[in-house]
Amino acid sequence: MKPRRKTRTVYVGNIPIGGDNPVVIQSMTSTYTYDIDKTVAEIRKLAKGGCDIVRVATPNKADTAALPSILEQSPVPIVADVHFHFERALEAVEAGVHKIRLNPGNINDRKQVDRVIAACKERSIPIRVGVNEGGIVERKDQSKRSEEMGAIASDRHANLIRIMVQKLEEYLRIFDENDFGDVVISAKSIDPRICIDAYRAISERFDFPLHLGVTHAGPPETGRIRSVSALSALLADGIGDTLRISYASDPIHEVEDAKELLCVLGMRNREEPELIACPTCGRIEIDLIKLVSEVRQKLATIKTPVKVAVMGCVVNGPGEAEGADVAVFAGKGRGIIYVQGEQTRTVSEDQMLDALYEESKAFAERVERGEAQLSSGQVSIVPPDPLPRADGSIPLNVISR
């Protein structure tokens, strides 16, 4: 992991983006913004799930008219997503929104951009300038459009990035001429390889905070890999100050995955239990997949970041579970539970779920009372003795160790 690249700090409401501040998680509502109750309910759900800032679409006047009420009820800062109609940006600013998102591909009339900048400047509202692969090609000037389309057709990767960077530069010149520096920038593509190189290119040219994202990534099942491959490469390079993972799904999954990504990269402290589990193999002698799914659900009620391991056998399990605060190693119909390296009990398969939960909960309560400390990866687990089968024979998985 490279150190975070230095960027200027921009405040979105009370949330700082950039500088040395933690990477901020964003998401976007899927509701019609004018439907205030549904929009507020979704914002609250996202905020409860760990989302720091929520963006709402404002295509119509009814949407910006709903903003004052939404802002009053929202627990997190709100960004107005504006396309095509600069008046929506002015209305959103008037409503007191915390940030505006503009797309240079569809609001590029100089006078209109100047007016939005002036309104934001007066109220110290930042603007995200987001170029997207989908809206980057010139729409009005037909000869320029053909030229850009031709360049993209001849070398999509290089020319798409060149055009994105060039349009971003041109647009940001307007902000510079207005002496407006409260800017966050993004350059999204559906192709992770283009995202990685585009963000690398803009991070070299500008010191504005970067909003990372892979656009139109698809449903979580496929969009997860598409998004995380680009975002993790960039974050490991020290690039990125805020991010949105985009899915064609309930946006809470965007927040869950963004949180998990930042936690596994050590960029955000975990607040809930962490579950690790073996992938199972031909040595497995219990229904581990079912057990893991049930353990995951039960652990959701614990609010301390206890690390829990569910391992199918003692062959590789102890080494792979090292660092777990609570672990179970299964054998034929039974499991041995460890708490911070100490064996606490042996239980039958049907008791494993409850026993593991009880041990995890009890350990979490000891941590909360200050009587125990989370392992932080320091627990060493000595492999348990072979678990005899009901008929007294030693399981094959243990003999083969």
**Quick one: which of 344, 347, 280, 341 has its CA closest to 311?**
280
Q: Which of 280, 343, 344, 375 binds ligand SF4 (CB under 6 A)?
A: 280
CA distance 269 to 374: 13
Q: Which of 283, 307, 332, 334 binds ligand SF4 (CB under 6 A)?
A: 283
Q: Please tell me what DSSP assigns to residue 278.
A: -
* Interacting span for ligand SF4 (CB under 6 A) from 86-94, 108-116, 217-225, 311-319: 311-319
Residue nearest to ligand SF4 (CB): 312
Rounded distance between C-alpha atoms, residue 353 and residue 288, angstroms: 10
Q: Which stretch binds ligand SF4 (CB under 6 A): 34-42, 114-122, 203-211, 307-315?
A: 307-315
Stretch that binds ligand SF4, among 62-70, 126-134, 309-317, 350-358 (CB under 6 A): 309-317
Place of tokens 């598409």: 226
Nearer to ligand SF4 by Cβ, of 78 and 278: the residue is 278
**Which residue's CB is nearer to ligand SF4, number 164 or number 327?**
327
CA count, 13 A, side-chain hemisphere, 60: 5
Q: From residue 25, how far is each of 17, 139, 174 by CA, in Å?
A: 10, 32, 28
The nearest distance, CB 321 to ligand SF4, in angstroms, is 9
| Shortest distance (Å) from residue 338 CB to ligand SF4 | 14
Residues in region 312-331 near ligand SF4 by CB under 6 A: 312-313, 315-317
Q: Which stretch binds ligand SF4 (CB under 6 A): 100-108, 219-227, 278-286, 364-372?
A: 278-286
**Residue from the set 1, 158, 281, 382 that interacts with ligand SF4 by CB under 6 A:** 281
One DSSP character per residue, 66-133 reads HHHHHHHH-SS-EEEE--S-HHHHHHHHHHT-SEEEE-TTT---HHHHHHHHHHHHHHT--EEEEEEG
Nearer to ligand SF4, 232 or 280 (CB): 280
Residue reference for tokens 């490991």: 236
Residues 45-104 that bind ligand SF4 (CB under 6 A): none
Stretch that binds ligand SF4, among 40-48, 261-269, 310-318, 381-389 (CB under 6 A): 310-318
- What's the rounded Cα separation, in Å, for the pair 272 and 305? 4
CB of 228 to ligand SF4, least distance (A): 23
110-to-26, 86, 115, 172, 265 alpha-carbon distances in Å: 29, 11, 9, 12, 41
Compute the residue count for the chain.
Answer: 401
Instruction: Out of 3, 266, 279, 370, point to the residue binding ligand SF4 (CB under 6 A).
Output: 279
The residue type of 151 is: A
Give yes or no for a contact between 373 and 323, defined as CB atoms under 8 angstroms apart: no
Q: Binding to ligand SF4 (CB under 6 A): which residues in 352-371?
A: none
Minimum distance from residue 313 beta carbon to ligand SF4 (Å):
3
Identify which range of 200-208, 223-231, 274-282, 337-345 contacts ligand SF4 by CB under 6 A. Answer: 274-282
Which residue(s) pair with 342 in the sheet? 339
Cβ-based nearer residue to ligand SF4, 112 or 280: 280
Count of chain residues binding ligand SF4 (CB under 6 A): 12
Q: How far is the CB of 358 from ligand SF4 (least distance, A)?
A: 23
Q: Give which of 67, 30, 55 is closest to 127, Cα–Cα.
A: 55
- Select 88 or 332, whichever has its Cβ closest to ligand SF4: 332
Q: In this structure, is the dihedral angle defined by the CA atoms of residues 311, 314, 315 and 318, taken in order, positive or negative?
A: positive
DSSP 378: -
Complex with ligand SF4: residue 312 or 323, whichever CB lies closer: 312
By CB under 6 A, name the binding residues for ligand SF4: 278-281, 283-284, 311-313, 315-317
